[in-house]
Amino acid sequence: MADTAAVKARIRQAFHRAAGTYDQAAVVQREVCQYLADFAASYPCPGPLERVLDAGCGTGHALPLLAARYPQADLLALDFASGMLAHVRGHLRVCGDLEQLPLAAASMDAVWSSLAAQWCRPQALFGELARVLRPRGMAWIATLGPETLCELRDAFRAVDDLPHAIDFHCPQTWQRAAEDAGFAVCGLLRRPCAALDTDLRGLLRHIKAIGAHTVSHTPRTPLGREAWHRLARRYERWRRPDGLLPATYDVILLALERRP
C-alpha cells in the first residue's frame, strides 16, 4: 500500500466515520480476535506483565478479553481514529499512529494488535513496536495476507484493471521485517476466515461498515449498472453449497519476542 499522507488521512477518516457501525458489522474481526487470543496463550510473555498496549484497538472489543487474561496489567488502548477511541470505556486511551507511537522507549511489556498492522509498512510498524517494548517483551499480531478478498479481486477483473483491495503482504515479508527490527519469531500461523452474506451488496456493506474500504488516494467513480451486473455475475462463481457468498480474509498470526 502506498504510504502517503493523503492515503493515511483517508483511511483514518474512513474508520472515524465507521465507528458507529463497526461493532455490529465486525463479525470477522471478533472471530480473528479470538484466534489471536488462543494463539497468544501458547506464547506467554516471559517475566512480569504490567503494561499491555492494544495497538489499533478500534472500538475496544479486545480489551475485556485482555483484562480477563491479564488482570494484573494496565491496559493502554491506542488507535489513530478518534471516533473509534470514543467508544472505549474504562481504560487509558491514546490517539496515535502505529508507525509513530507516542510512547516512551521500553515502556510496554507486551503489545496486542488485531487487524491493524495491514494498514502499516511492516518495517516502520515493527521498528516502533521494538522501540516501545522492553527486552523480552512479547508482541501478538493478527494481520492479513495476499489472499484477502480474493473473490472480490477476481470479480472486479470482469469490470476493470484498477486495484479494488490493498496489496497485503505475504507471511515471509512480515517475518523478515520483524526479524530485521530485532524480534525473534516464536510462532507464525496462517488461516482463512470469511464474512458471509446472501448477496454481494451485503458483503460490500460489511466492508464499508467496518471502515476497511479505502484503497488509494484517487476518488472512485461509482459503478454503472452494466458494470455492477458484470461484477455480480462474476462473483456468483464463488457462491457456496449453503447458498452464501464469502469474502475471505487471509489471516496471519505472529508471536514475536523482543530480543535483549
pLDDT at 220: 56
CA pair distance 246, 239, nearest whole angstrom: 7
195 burial type by CB count under 10 A (0-12 exposed, 13-18 middle, 19+ buried): buried
Q: Which amino acid is at 36?
A: L
In this structure, are residues 31 and 253 in contact, taking their beta carbons and an 8 Å threshold? no
Torsion angle of alpha carbons 133, 250, 244, 152, nearest 10°? 110
For 149, the 3-state DSSP assignment is coil
pLDDT at 2: 46
Q: In what order do the strands lie in the sheet with 183-197?
A: 92-95, 74-79, 51-55, 108-114, 133-144, 245-258, 183-197
Place of cell 458507529: 20
CA pair distance 32, 87, nearest whole angstrom: 20
For 87, the 3-state DSSP assignment is coil
* DSSP characters over 175-222: HHHHHHTTEEEEEEEEEEEEEEESSHHHHHHHHHHTT-----SSPPPP
Handedness of CA 29, 118, 83, 7 (dihedral sign): negative
In the chain, DSSP assigns E strands to 51-55, 74-79, 92-95, 108-114, 133-144, 183-197, 245-258
pLDDT at 54: 98
pLDDT at 1: 45
Place of cell 496486542: 112
The low-confidence residues of the chain, meaning pLDDT below 70, are 1-4, 163-165, 211-222
Give the bridge partners for 141, in sequence order.
113, 254
pLDDT at 4: 66
Query: What would the pLDDT profile of 81-103 be if each residue is shown by its tens digit?
Result: 999 999 998 899 999 999 999 99
Give the bridge partners for 108, in sequence order.
133
Domains of the chain: residue spans and CATH: 5-152+167-223+247-258 (3.40.50.150)
CA pair distance 218, 220, nearest whole angstrom: 6
CA pair distance 125, 118, nearest whole angstrom: 10
pLDDT at 163: 66
